[in-house]
């Protein structure tokens, strides 16, 4: 085990010890006190921010993503961005079930943290509209204020999702990112975003659920 992996293992072990205390979730005004699993993920997120690019895949082995609200949104719901990743639309341009799961989770986070900004990312237009436009329309129709939503509609892959969204982060001074996608996609997506930001800001993820 290399130096970086030993350091991350130590971070994970410390966080796991905290988890053994069995802390739960308590109300704190409009927000929730972070659960112990979310604190664990927060510790790993910060550890992964400090490693070299080549160590990022190994770093991701310590992530334990779940459906909990991430600690970073509790700590800073103002310049932490919620990033909802696109998925292929139907030939008619409609949203498939897998993408609706991502949107419902993003909507839940957006309503829990009403000062957080939302980025929807995905190109590949079908019937004249991109994934990002379809997602933006869905969120606006669900009651999310239009000024909170930024559409990135040029990307054609997860790598491009990350690269093009990072430019938005840079332009508006984003200090952290929460990536929302399905469980089978999340580890790879978070890795791509961590590679894109190159340690400049912390990145974590939330598993989408229906």
Q: Which domains does the chain have, with CATH numbers?
A: 3-207 (3.40.50.620)
pTM (predicted TM-score):
0.87
What does the DSSP 8-state code read for residue 26? -
Q: State residue 37's pLDDT score.
A: 83
Per-residue pLDDT of 51-108, as tens digits, reads 999 999 988 889 999 999 999 999 999 999 999 999 999 999 999 999 999 999 999 9
Q: What's the length of the chain?
A: 210
Q: State residue 26's pLDDT score.
A: 40
C-alpha separations of 193 from 168, 200, 204 in Å: 13, 11, 9
Taking 70 as the pLDDT cut, the residues of the chain under it are: 1-34
CB 86 within 8 Å of CB 99 = yes
With H, G, I as helix, E, B as strand and everything else as coil, classify residue 191.
Answer: helix
Mean pLDDT, rounded, of the chain: 89
CA separation for the pair 194, 54 (Å, rounded): 11
């Amino acid at each position: 085990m290399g130096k970086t992996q030993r350091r991350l293992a130590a971070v994970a072990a410390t966080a796991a010890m905290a988890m053994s205390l069995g802390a739960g979730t308590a109300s704190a005004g409009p927000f929730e006190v972070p659960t112990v699993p979310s604190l664990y993920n927060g510790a790993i997120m910060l550890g992964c921010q400090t490693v070299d690019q080549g160590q990022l895949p190994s770093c991701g082995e310590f992530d334990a993503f779940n459906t909990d609200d991430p600690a970073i949104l509790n700590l800073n719901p103002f310049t932490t961005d919620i990033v909802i990743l696109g998925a292929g639309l139907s030939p008619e341009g409609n949203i498939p079930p897998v993408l609706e799961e991502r949107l419902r989770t993003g909507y839940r986070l957006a309503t829990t943290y009403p000062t957080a900004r939302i980025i929807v990312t995905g190109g590949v237009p079908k019937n004249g509209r991109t994934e990002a436009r379809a997602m933006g329309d869905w969120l606006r129709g669900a009651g999310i204020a239009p000024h909170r939503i930024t559409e990135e509609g040029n990307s054609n892959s997860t790598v491009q999702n990350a690269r093009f969204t990072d430019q938005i982060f840079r332009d508006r001074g984003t200090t952290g990112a929460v990536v929302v996608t399905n469980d089978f996609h999340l580890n790879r997506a978070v890795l791509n975003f961590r590679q894109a930001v190159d340690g400049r800001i912390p990145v974590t993820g939330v598993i989408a659920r229906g």
